[in-house]
Amino acid sequence: MTIELIAIDLDGTLLTNEKKISSKVKDTLAKAKEKGIKVVICTGRPLPGVMSFLKELNLEEVGDYAITYNGALVQETYDGNAIAHHTMSFDDFLEVEAMSQKIGVHCQTLDEKAIYTSNKDISPYTVRESSLVNMPIKYRSVEEMNPNLVISKMMMIDEPDVLDAGIAQFPSSFYEKYTVLKSEAFYLEVLNKAASKGQALKDLSDILSIPKENILAIGDNENDRDMLVFAGVGVAMGNAVEGIKAISDYITDTNELDGVATVIEKLVFNQ
């Protein structure tokens, strides 16, 4: 087996708890790229929220790619060109927004330019997300929302206990219609049913003609699950949630202990 592509989650995986890339991880990924291995960041963030890290890792050249919005969008990082985009319709927006109001949970909607919220009491988690991904917040009532908006994903956001109580009220039909997954204790992602990190990784591997057996994927949370299952080698971080450790082929060190570098050195450079 020869690894040709390394898919890496961002928060909790590539980044330390201080949202930094350690020098060891940076050097290891540079070495991987020099060997001709594709290094692909796979994140729930939009491209503006990851560009500084792509620049730091020299992953914004022609031939570099990123998976963003938890798999709703696969992009060329050089110019942002979309090579696969699974969007949500305005009817989806109305349904998810109505569900959030029914269960009493804050909701936000993202396109490629901004975060929209219909909550006048803007959630501090929306403010956090805005800062994290470098995108502005725009208040819009449901009636004011542009029906032609190209929606990449929606998020239900609230205090963990409030969010979990709301999730418990979802009918089974909601899961049948959308991809629904948790990326943080206070973030629930709602996407087009065809969108996920695993599906996006498949889309990209098909375009690049890379067999899944030659892909190594690294993650830490439930939104990484199908990406780790799809890849030939699925790796859980030492700080990963237990469910992700259980389905992974290998468990590496934590994000604070250069886990990404450790597993690449062991499974890729020594192959």
pLDDT value of position 183: 84
Catalytic residue among 9, 64, 111, 226: 9
Query: 190 near 51, Cβ under 8 Å?
Result: no
Q: Which of 194, 173, 129 is nearest to 155 (CA)?
A: 129
Distance CA 234, CA 214 (A): 11
pLDDT value of position 14: 98
**Is 92 labeled as catalytic in the residue annotation?**
no
pLDDT value of position 127: 94
Strands (E), 199-265: 215-219, 233-236, 250-251
Question: How far are the Cα atoms of 106, 119, 146, 187 from residue 142, in angstroms, in the given order?
Answer: 13, 10, 9, 21
Question: How far are the Cα atoms of 93, 107, 245, 260 from residue 120, in angstroms, in the given order?
Answer: 17, 11, 39, 41
Distance CA 57, CA 38 (A): 12
Structure tokens at 56: 């730091």
Structure tokens at 252: 């590496």
Digitized pLDDT (tens) for each residue of the chain, 271 residues in all = 699 999 999 999 999 999 999 999 999 999 999 999 999 999 999 998 899 999 999 999 999 999 999 999 999 999 999 999 999 999 999 999 999 999 999 999 999 889 999 988 999 999 999 998 889 999 999 999 999 999 999 999 999 999 999 999 999 999 999 999 988 889 999 999 999 999 999 999 999 999 999 999 999 999 999 999 999 999 999 999 999 999 999 999 999 999 999 999 999 997 6
pLDDT value of position 184: 85
**Has this prediction a pTM greater than 0.85?**
yes
pLDDT value of position 1: 67
pLDDT value of position 239: 97
Query: 21 near 57, Cβ under 8 Å?
Result: yes
